Structure 1
Amino acid sequence: MEIINNEALSQCIRDAVRAELQEHFKTGGSQQQTAEERLLSKQELAAELGVSLATLSDWMKKGLPFLRLHKRVYFKKSDVLKAMQQNITD
């Protein structure tokens, strides 16, 4: 018993893919990670902020938000910027 033939299924798939691609390009792919949502390593964040790794480690001890994945440490740039801005306003 055949519920849908191959040609109809193929057309449905093409229409769905076409609709998804149009939506993706219409929004400019905004669902992708923004630069602030990318995870940065200690070296990348230190270079971006213009501080040494020792300073960054000190800030981590004082509450700078970070993520630990296995033995590596990463930072979400948006969280770091919020924490730094909050410290300035306090």
Structure 2
Amino acid sequence: MAIDSRGADIRLLAGQTPLLTRATPAPQNDEGWAQLAVDFLAAAREHSDGVRTATREELVQAFFDELFNHLDPYSRYIGPSSASTDREARVGGRLMPESL
């Protein structure tokens, strides 16, 4: 699946086949963008076994991975369980000493 945002509309595509088309919300229309994301996710679930069977954490991770790929290639999102695992690896599963 892919998103085509050329023009006045945003389209969810499966190959070249449009699955959903919505008008692009105004840049400051947070509710419009949130509704667009919900609509596109619902359409993706209807048409994709991978999206339908993904966990919430996997969907959030994929969303932020794609977002940061376009906005800031040096940033990344780490979900709660991965963040805990990474933190434990850095500090040995214990709190950092106060002197540091």
Please say whether Structure 1 and Structure 2 have the same fold, judged by a TM-score greater than 0.5. Answer: no
Relative contact order higher in (CA < 8 Å, ≥ 6 apart): 1
TM-score of the two chains, using structure 2 as the length reference: 0.23
Larger-gyration structure (1/2): 1
